Amino acid sequence: MKVNLNEIKNYISMALSGTSGDFQMAEINFYLKTALQKIEQKQIKENKKSEFVSSNMVLKNGTLINPIDAKKAISKIDELINFEQNKINSSFIKQDKEIKTIID
């Protein structure tokens, strides 16, 4: 289950605003502020993780794949291109041998 950190931050901020200014609530304010800092650290960590994933992954059919798998797929595509290029070149060589010019 995905936790909505912004919603939790809003609730803690509301609780903090309701208890601020009261000396008897100083300890509670300390814990609420600590909780807010922990949530902000968690959000920063999640943002960094999502940036890392998006920068190191490649899209395949709308989903992310590992760079190693992407390299393998690209090498297979390169092999197919070379194979087709060789077929085309060999067919041109055959056609050149079959064509006789007027000089021949």
Residue 33 Cα to chain centre, angstroms: 32
Angle CA 12–14–16, to nearest 5? 70
The residues spanned by each domain of the chain are 1-56, 58-104
Terminal CA-CA length for the chain:
80
- Show the CA angle centred on residue 13, arms to residues 28 and 23, nearest 5°: 35
- pLDDT tens digit sequence for 35-74: 999 999 999 988 887 766 656 566 556 666 777 877 888 8
pTM (two decimals): 0.48
Where residue 3 falls among pLDDT bands split at 50, 70, 90? confident
